[in-house]
Structure 1
Amino acid sequence: MDNFSMNSSSVLRLQGFDLPPHGAYVAFVFATLSYLSILFCNLVLLITITINKSLHQPMYLLLFNLPINDLIGSTALFPQLIKELLLDTRYIEVSNCITQAFFIHLYGAGSVLILSVMAYDRYIAICNPLRYGTIMTTSHIIKIITSVWLVDFILIGVLFYLLLRLPRCRSFISHPYCDNPSLLTLVCADTTINNIYGLLITASTQVGGVGMILYTYLQILIACFKSKRSDTKSKALQTCATHLAVFLLLECLGLFTIISYRIKELSPHMRRMIGVSTMIFPPTLNPIIYGLRTKEIRQKIMLLFRQRVSPS
């Protein structure tokens, strides 16, 4: 058993939201509806891509990983959060806390990596359309998807290996859910290596991911402006603007969450709300922006529901 789990109490106490009874009820309803909405939208997108062979193309195979990642992050957060609001309990087993934190960080890094490879796919499709079929082959797509998840698991696995080797002497987490920074506050040892590695993987994924996305969409915009077809230009501009807006929202929320740990003067309520919003808005918007706004997927979803409503 690791040093982190062996030390001090086997149960941790969370900060909670400190809401009055009526406020806790409203928060419970909001959290439950948010989770159900995320489950429904992402599962519909997954089922639609799975059952329609016409969608078994590089673009949609890459997109398939986005709802999987969103479901991982949401399921890591919401059941514990809903239980906390419903039962007014602020206690969590150490093992459950570590598991929750691991999958939340897996979701965060995975979001950037998956959106980056999706931007790369669109860049090849629009800027090198004649070579798209030879570049984005099935084997190449499998290698890309495997690499994304492998890199994601390795980065976060090392992050938590560095955490679990340290002794723990505290049991109070000043946050409504578990993540690496809050777990590090429980450690009674030097965490310099952990902090350096955490900042390193954050910087590398952010610089690499943001750089990739900004470069590819810039090249797409340039290609669109050079195109003489006004309908192509308008459609591409609308798509790029929407995708960039969703990605920037994810980046800003993630950045605010990281910064909030460093600002001691920030209101605890504000810090908690920023952290939770990072897990609500992107998983809700992603299937809508990347799925329903795509004509082919929207048509297949409508066909799916029509068949369920009138099976005859």
Structure 2
Amino acid sequence: MDLFNSALGRNITFVRPAYFIIRGFTGIPNIMYYYIFLFFVYIVSVLGNTAVMVIICLDHNLRTPKYVAVFNLAFVDLFGSSALVPKVIDIFLFEHSYISYNDCLTFMFFCFICLSMQALNLVALAYDRLVTHRFMVSLIASFWVFVIAVTLIAVGLLTRLSFCESVVINSYFCDHGQIYRLACNDNTPSLVISFLLPLLILWLPLVFIVLTYVSIGYSLTKVATIHERLKAFKTCTAHLLLVAIYFIPIIITFTLMEKIHPNARIINLSLTSVFPPMLNPIIYVLQTQEIKTSVKKLFKIRLQSKVTINKLTNKN
């Protein structure tokens, strides 16, 4: 981070607070139940995404480009939920709203990486049947490098800001937009990147996905029978559900940003952060035949092993 400051001149002094205060969800009745609900969502996310990762690792038939992307999505969901939800519960349920300057930027860094990778991973899943295994691994690796680099720039630019007055963040985590608006010096670079980030990590991936499905839809019109069209479309339902769950709430929240109460905005954004990681593994388990087949096979192998062990034990 010092690289950003040294580039601006050695004689510049920045006023950095010892801590920030996170104050979201204020004035909401019975909000404690919401935090308990977030904890439940987190547990389901951890169990579901861990199960998907284990199934893909154990079944060699799932070593395809599609399941490389699914594994990465499960990892990102697990990592992102673990970075966000426990800290949110600690801040609000246990009233530890004071967070040090460095911890706040670190918190933001990991949350932004995971939220961004979710969107880019959905782009990778849109092309899972068109690329090779090696290309998919390279694509996901390039997404990781891109997201880490962009997030480092966004967080690094915050270190050149001075905070002379308020240190209260009206959000559910260390939100980039909330922090740079508190600065009392020129925040133009952070303002610019706050416009670029949604474009690069939200709208551009969505455009790619929409164009992909427009192409798929056009191709399906050339298929001879309705049954064949439905069969081909069915292979896309799991991915379409993931895209809808991730993008629609974000688009609605950003579209109505100025028309909804700040608390409603915070709750909507927090739900957008925690719901997809919980629902993604459920959708893939229920909607994807390969995963269901793999689960049945693993249970059958386990049952057969247990029966064999019991027979050997009885003989002895």
Assess same fold via TM > 0.5: yes
Cross-structure match for 1:87:
94
CA distance in 1, matches of 2:285, 2:57: 13
Alpha-carbon deviation of 1:298?
Answer: 1.7
Taking every aligned residue pair, what percent have the same amino acid on both sides?
28
User: How many residues were matched structurally?
Assistant: 296
Amino acid paired to 2:279: L
Aligned partner letter, 1:240 = C
What is the match of residue 251 of structure 1? Answer: 247
| Structure with the bigger percentage of helix | 1
Which residue is equivalent to 1:129?
none
The reply on whether 1:146 has 2:141 as its aligned counterpart is yes
Q: Is the 8 A contact 2:238 2:287 kept in 1?
A: no
1: CA distance between counterparts of 2:303 and 2:44?
20
Instruction: Quote the Cα distance in structure 2 between the aligned partners of 1:189 and 1:137.
Output: 49
Structure 1 residues 288-297 or 301-310, which shifts more?
301-310
**Residues 125 and 239 in structure 2, CA contact (< 8 A), matched pair in contact too:** no
TM-score by length of 1: 0.84
Which of 51, 55, 67 is residue 58 of structure 2 equivalent to? 51
> Does the Cα contact within 8 Å between 1:159 and 1:194 map onto a contact in 2?
yes
Task: Work out whether 1:284 is the aligned partner of 2:278.
Answer: yes
Q: Partner of 1:87: helix, strand, or coil? A: coil
The equivalent position to 2:22 in structure 1, one of 9, 14, 22, is 14
Deviation per CA, 1:121-147, whole angstroms, max 9, x where unpaired? 23x2xxxxxxxxxxx333322221211
Q: Could you list the runs of 5+ residues in structure 2 that have no partner in the other structure?
A: 6-13, 307-316
Structure 1 position 174 matched with structure 2 position 170: yes
Q: Which runs of 5+ in 1 are unaligned?
A: 125-135
Structure 1 residue 110 and structure 2 residue 117: aligned?
Answer: yes
- Cα distance in 1 for partners of 2:214, 2:144 equals 26
Q: Is the 8 A contact 1:32 1:82 kept in 2?
A: yes
CA–CA distance in structure 2, aligned partners of residues 189 and 153 of structure 1:
26
Q: CA RMSD in A?
A: 2.6
Kindly state the Cα deviation for residue 53 of structure 1 after the two structures are TM-superposed: 1.0
2:312 — aligned with what? none
Matched, 1:158 2:165: no
Give the deviation of 1:56 after TM superposition.
0.7
How far apart in 2 are the matches of 1:156 and 1:61?
A: 24
After TM superposition, the structure 1 stretch with the greater mean CA deviation from structure 2, 237-246 or 247-256, is 237-246
Deviation at 1:284, TM superposition (A): 1.6
2:182 to 186, 197, 200: 186
Taking the aligned partners of 2:105 and 2:253, their CA distance within structure 1 comes to: 19
Q: Quick check: which has more Rg, 1 or 2?
A: 2
> What displacement does 1:251 show?
1.8
